[in-house]
Amino acid sequence: MMQLLKARAETFLQYRHLIRELVIKDIKLKYRRSFLGYFWSILNPLMIMAIMVIVFSNMFRFDIENFPVYLIIGQTLFNFLTESTTQSIFSITGNAALLKKTYVPKYAFTLSKVTSSLINLLFSLGAMVIVFLFCRVRFTFLFLWIPFILLQVYLFCLGLGLFLAQAAVFFRDVQYIYNAVTTAWMYLTPLFYPIETLPEYLRQMIMVYNPLYNYIFQFRMVVMYGSFPDAATILSGVMFAVFSVLIGSWCFLNTQDQFILYI
Amino acid sequence: MQQTQKGQIQKGKRNIRLALEVIDATVRFNMASERIDNLKEYFVKLVKRQLMFQEFLALQHINFSVKKGESWGIIGTNGSGKSTLLKLICGIMKPYEGSVITNGSIAPLIELGAGFDGDLTARENIFLNGAVLGYSRHYMQENFNRIVDFAELHDFLDMPIKNYSSGMAARLGFSIATVVQPDILIVDEVLSVGDFAFQQKCERRMREMLDGGVTLLFVSHSIDTVKSLCKYALWLERGQVKGCGRAQEICDAYMQSLMENHS
């Protein structure tokens, strides 16, 4: 067991360059030949947020103070979740040509997709800062907790991504099913409405079982309400992340030898 | 057949002078009458009890071992399992039964430029492809000029690879893969693209590497090349070893059988 772990760690070290190169490739190609380049990462969330703010402050009214801030936090984390996991679904099947022709650790592709999504998320934090400044959010030392929130989300998405990537090798319709799942997930996460509008039982369910809401909640606590999230919330957030990675990589490592027969 | 048994005897000794050893390896494919790759069909078939699995053995109980510095040609008709054997040795596939042991670094030339991304320029692809083979960016930087010199692509370095001809891409792929002296070089019918001059150049480079002590596994339908480049040959037919020994004899026997089948 220890030997296996050691061998795995050595392969990882040997191929860390590959993961780096793949991340660089993704980021370079995303905005290649677009005039504004990386600015889109900042501009895009700002534009979407502006539209949502207009829609929700005129058509449906929710009593949320600092609505743009409330919205952009939820929106950014949700976008990261969908982007990283949807990209993961195609990470193995999309690199079939390469996997058939040379040996590379297969998780490198999934890991690099989630990581390049994380870097896009870091770019879009720029948009967040602009909104914070515009809405006069007070920057405090509590903001130092944000990297830990992002780490939790990253690990959670990595685990989910690994699970989906291996499932998609055997069953191609996972992508369509997951599409429906993310739509449901979007409405079951208070991104643009306050959680208080939900009936009591649903509220409980979401607070306990929706990891995404947990991370958004931690983020909003720190930024909007100027207080540190309570221990129970953090504990369950960390648990979601750890279990997601464990289950995801367990499924992936157990099925990866059969990928070659299905891609 | 005698040679095959010899391979089995060596298994006990675990010879460190061996570059690679294939012990009783069997590769099984699942040849379902139609491939099921989505959940919907899977459940429909499951309910109708039509989930059939038809076994197909691409390789059956292969035994063979290669000493360090030897050059082996692998010959056989289409579908005899040559490429599957190479994939097994590279680690792209895992044997269903038996095992494969390799000592030292492997440079697989199974399809040149398998790791190229069409949207990236040649310069960027050199680093990406190097990373696929497990080399660091720093290392590739040091050897960058040698790669470009050998491929003779100075004028096209900043052009996206998708605009390259297949011959040009193959040239670049070959020079990246052979920039280092690997311990084991695996070549699968890749030199058929590229013009005559470059084929000669590649053959020269392979001879140089052989003189430098590399172990060569070479799959080709060109019997003359196998005879001139390799000292030993392995003849596969329908996934089984038909002959194994000196290249001259095996190639002649192979040609003989081809003639007989035709007439």
Cα separation, B260 vs B205, in Å, equals 36
- Which is nearest to A117 in space by CA: A146, A154, A151? A154
With respect to residue A204, please indicate whether it lies within any of the assigned structural domains: yes
Domain that holds residue A109: 15-262
With respect to residue A8, please indicate whether it lies within any of the assigned structural domains: no
The average pLDDT across B150-160 equals: 86
Long-range contacts of B48-55 (CB under 8 A, 24+ apart): B54/B30, B55/B28, B55/B29, B55/B30, B55/B31
B127 to chain A, any CB pair closer than 8 A? The answer is yes
pTM across the whole model: 0.86
Residue B114 to residue A98, Cβ atoms within 8 A: yes
B104 to chain A, any CB pair closer than 8 A? The answer is no
A32 to chain B, any CB pair closer than 8 A? The answer is yes
Q: How confident is the model at residue B190 (pLDDT cuts 50, 70, 90)?
A: low
Distances, alpha carbon B121 to alpha carbons A96, A133, B68, B163, in Å: 21, 40, 37, 9
The upper half-sphere exposure of residue B173, i.e. CA atoms within 13 Å in the direction of its Cβ, equals 27
B182 to chain A, any CB pair closer than 8 A? The answer is no
β-strand B184-188 against B215-219: which pairing, if any? parallel
β-strand B71-75 against B232-237: which pairing, if any? parallel
Q: Quick one: three-class SS letters along A206-259? A: HHHHCHHHHHHHHHHHHHHCCCCCCHHHHHHHHHHHHHHHHHHHHHHHHHHHHH
The pLDDT mean for chain B works out to 81
pLDDT for B50 equals 67
Report how many domains make up chain A.
1
With respect to residue A6, please indicate whether it lies within any of the assigned structural domains: no
Judge whether B187 and B217 are in contact, CB under 8 Å.
yes
Q: Where are the domains of chain B?
A: 2-105+184-262, 111-181
B54 to chain A, any CB pair closer than 8 A? The answer is no
**pLDDT under 70 in chain A at which residues?**
61
pLDDT for B226 equals 85
Q: Which of B29, B38, B87 sits opposite A173 (nearest CB)?
A: B38
Q: Which of A17, A28, A97 sits opposite B131 (nearest CB)?
A: A17
Residue B114 to residue A102, Cβ atoms within 8 A: yes
Residue A102 to residue B133, Cβ atoms within 8 A: yes
pLDDT for A189 equals 93
User: Do B2-105+184-262 and B111-181 have matching folds?
Assistant: no
pLDDT for A15 equals 87
Angle formed at CA A151 by CA B128 and CA A201, multiple of 5 degrees: 130
Exposed, middle or buried: residue B199 (CB in 10 Å: 0-12, 13-18, 19+)? middle
Q: Which of B93, B128, B130 sits opposite A260 (nearest CB)?
A: B93
Phi/psi zone of residue B69: left (φ > 0), alpha (ψ -120 to 50 degrees), beta? left
Domain B2-105+184-262 has CATH 3.30.360.10: no
Residue B91 to residue A103, Cβ atoms within 8 A: yes
Exposed, middle or buried: residue A141 (CB in 10 Å: 0-12, 13-18, 19+)? exposed
Residue A17 to residue B137, Cβ atoms within 8 A: yes
With respect to residue A254, please indicate whether it lies within any of the assigned structural domains: yes
B197: pLDDT strictly greater than 90: no
pLDDT for B1 equals 33
Helix axes B196-211, B166-177, angle to 10 degrees: 10
Distances, alpha carbon B42 to alpha carbons A176, B34, B148, in Å: 15, 11, 49
Structure token pair of residue B76: 């056989």
Size of interface A-B (CB pairs under 8 A): 78
With respect to residue A7, please indicate whether it lies within any of the assigned structural domains: no
pLDDT for B228 equals 84
B3: pLDDT strictly greater than 70: no
Residue A29 to residue B119, Cβ atoms within 8 A: yes
B37: pLDDT strictly greater than 80: no
The CATH code for residues B111-181 is: 1.10.8
Phi, psi of B179 (to 5 degrees): -70, -30
In tens, the pLDDT along B201-254 reads 888 888 888 888 889 898 888 888 888 888 899 988 888 888 888 888 888 888
Judge whether B221 and B189 are in contact, CB under 8 Å.
yes
With respect to residue A51, please indicate whether it lies within any of the assigned structural domains: yes
Cα separation, B212 vs A188, in Å, equals 64
